[in-house]
């Protein structure tokens, strides 16, 4: 009898724990590399709001995106599927279970700067939302100090700026006099706060997804944010001589320093870092405004908060720039989850962005759709030392990477491979795929890779 009582008491306590998670707030940054945050070890970055969220929640050190550019990544994690598709989305599923589902800013793919300037929806999925709000901005056309750093061009003239669909838009920064209230991320935070006030008066549970566009290019922010990062203090990533020599052709990014000419301007590479971090800090401040409202309204007591990015970014590592490849700086993303019922922690377990949707379902006490390919991270929220999977996949058109706790294995469609010992060589400088001493581990990883990718396109 005592055992039965203990059993049902345990069930009741478990159900009461789930009941505390009534709402879900998803905040997605854009092109944010994990190591651009102080809580992930960056000693120069000023990111107090996200750092505070990390102290209060679970920080995942080894979270990996599936798509390595915006469109496929967002289609993937919003459906919990490796390659997106047409299956049910996060918002549709929550609406079917009695939730409101609201989008603020960029969640599915929007062209930045194109759709931001136009205020258009991009690749949005209307059925995902019961309400949606776009956040327009002038982007590179913001009056102020414009720079196109690979061209070494500096001007305040509004004419001739690199913008939508132009080839050098990814090397643009703009600092200007202002408080930031004209920027898309400020508008997104303001609208989110306004919505939280409305939602706090409604008994209906909510799913609110807020998408920031920074630090996605162009790096635009008021001058006071740039002032925090004097470019002369920026440290460029170390790239050893001959770094590309053991990389297969398929692994060498077309977006590289030599191609764009920024290799001629080391100081401008530092300015790229300064502009990137300036917009990270601006974005962090907007995240802080949302989290403060959540607390002030008493909603943090029953709301799960997820913070992440669609993928990481390269700022000169390997002399590569941007995204769309299988380097660690691109595939690894920040991921923080805070729930009312779980203690803070730090996890080194391998997780994937496809895991967000099923985790939200379990926290809210909802069934996980059959189409979802991710795995709930609830065991790790309960115990940061737990593990739910052994590896993570990331994709580009020309190949796939598999990241385990110790190894990064990349296989390209032309048959070429890369293998890195992530314990001894975390920056991926020595490709071991052709090393006789690593033939056995390579064989094992090939088998694991085949099983992991079986059935995927």
Q: Report yes or no on 40 lying in a domain.
A: yes
Q: Is residue 147 part of a domain?
A: no
- Asked whether residue 403 is assigned to any structural domain, the reply reads no
pTM of the model: 0.95
Residue 257 has which token pair? Answer: 């320093």
Measure the CA–CA gap between 52 and 71, rounded to whole angstroms.
Answer: 29
Give yes or no for a contact between 32 and 280, defined as CB atoms under 8 angstroms apart.
yes
Q: What pLDDT shows up at residue 294?
A: 98
pLDDT on residue 431: 98
CA dist 412 → 398, 439, 443 (Å): 6, 18, 16
* Residue 109 φ/ψ, nearest 5 degrees: -65, 130
pLDDT at residue 329 in the model: 98
pLDDT single digits (tens) 64-81: 999 999 999 999 999 999
Q: Which residue, among 309, 120, 129, 301, has the nearest Cα to 208 in the 3D structure?
A: 129
* Cβ–Cβ under 8 Å, residues 307 and 63: no
Give the chain's residues under pLDDT 50. 1-19
Q: What pLDDT is stored for residue 155 in this prediction? A: 98
Torsion of CA 179, 184, 185, 188, to 10 degrees: 110
Q: Please check whether residue 167 lies inside any domain of the structure.
A: no
User: What is the residue range of 360's domain?
Assistant: 23-136+182-385
Amino acid 2: pLDDT: 38
What's the token pair of residue 53? 């969220």
Secondary structure of residue 117 in the 3-state scheme = helix
Per-residue pLDDT, 457: 87
Per-residue model confidence as pLDDT tens digits over 203-262: 999 999 999 999 999 999 999 999 999 999 999 999 999 999 999 999 999 999 999 999
Does 81 map to a domain?
A: yes
* Extended beta strands in 317-382, E state: 321-322, 332-333, 335-338, 345-352
| Three-state DSSP class for residue 157 | coil
The whole-angstrom separation of Cα 326 and Cα 396 is: 7
Q: What is the number of domains present in the chain?
A: 1
The pLDDT, as a whole number, for residue 198 is 97
Q: Give domain status of residue 443, yes or no.
A: no
CATH of the domain at 378: 3.40.720.10
In a 10 Å sphere around its CB, with 0-12 CB exposed, 13-18 middle and 19+ buried, how is residue 52 labelled? middle
Closest by alpha carbon to 312, among 42, 78, 65? 65
């Amino acid at each position: 009898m005592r055992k039965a009582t203990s059993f049902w008491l345990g069930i009741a306590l478990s159900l009461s724990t789930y009941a505390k998670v009534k709402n879900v707030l998803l905040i997605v940054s854009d092109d944010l590399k994990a190591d651009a945050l102080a809580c992930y070890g960056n000693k120069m970055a000023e990111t107090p709001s996200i750092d505070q969220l990390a102290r209060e929640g679970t920080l995942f050190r080894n979270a990996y995106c599936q798509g390595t550019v915006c469109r496929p990544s967002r289609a993937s994690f919003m459906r919990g599927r490796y390659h997106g598709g047409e299956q049910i989305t996060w918002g549709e599923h929550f609406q079917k279970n009695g939730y409101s589902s609201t989008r603020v800013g960029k969640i599915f793919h929007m062209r930045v700067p194109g759709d931001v300037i136009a205020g258009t929806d991009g690749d949005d999925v209307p059925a995902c939302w019961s309400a949606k709000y776009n956040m327009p901005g002038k982007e590179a056309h913001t009056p102020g100090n414009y720079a196109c750093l690979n061209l070494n061009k500096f001007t305040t003239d509004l004419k001739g700026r690199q913008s939508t669909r132009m080839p050098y838009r990814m090397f643009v920064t703009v600092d200007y006099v202002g408080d930031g209230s004209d920027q898309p991320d400020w508008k997104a935070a303001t609208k989110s706060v306004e919505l939280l006030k409305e939602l706090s008066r409604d008994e209906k549970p909510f799913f609110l997804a807020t998408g920031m566009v920074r630090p996605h290019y162009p790096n635009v922010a008021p001058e006071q944010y740039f002032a925090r990062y004097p470019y002369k203090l920026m440290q460029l990533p170390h790239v050893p001589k001959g770094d590309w020599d053991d990389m297969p052709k398929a692994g060498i990014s077309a977006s590289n320093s030599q191609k764009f000419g920024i290799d001629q301007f080391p100081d401008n590479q530092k300015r790229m870092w300064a502009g990137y971090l300036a917009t990270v800090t601006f974005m962090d401040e907007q995240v802080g405004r949302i989290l403060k409202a959540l607390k002030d309204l008493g909603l943090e007591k029953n709301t799960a908060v997820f913070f992440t990015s669609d993928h990481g970014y390269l700022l000169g590592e390997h002399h590569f720039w941007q995204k769309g490849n299988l380097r660690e700086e691109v595939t690894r993303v920040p991921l923080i989850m805070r729930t009312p019922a779980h203690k803070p922690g730090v996890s080194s377990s391998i997780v994937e962005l496809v895991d967000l949707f099923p985790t939200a379902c379990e926290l809210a006490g909802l069934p996980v759709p059959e189409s979802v390919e991710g795995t709930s991270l609830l065991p790790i929220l309960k115990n940061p030392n737990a593990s739910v999977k052994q590896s993570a996949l990331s994709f580009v058109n020309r190949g796939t990477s598999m990241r385990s706790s110790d190894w990064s294995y990349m296989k390209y469609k032309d048959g070429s491979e890369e293998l890195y010992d992530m314990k001894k060589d975390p920056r991926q400088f020595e490709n071991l795929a052709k090393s006789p001493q690593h033939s056995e581990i390579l064989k094992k990883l090939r088998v694991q890779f085949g099983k992991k990718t079986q059935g995927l396109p």
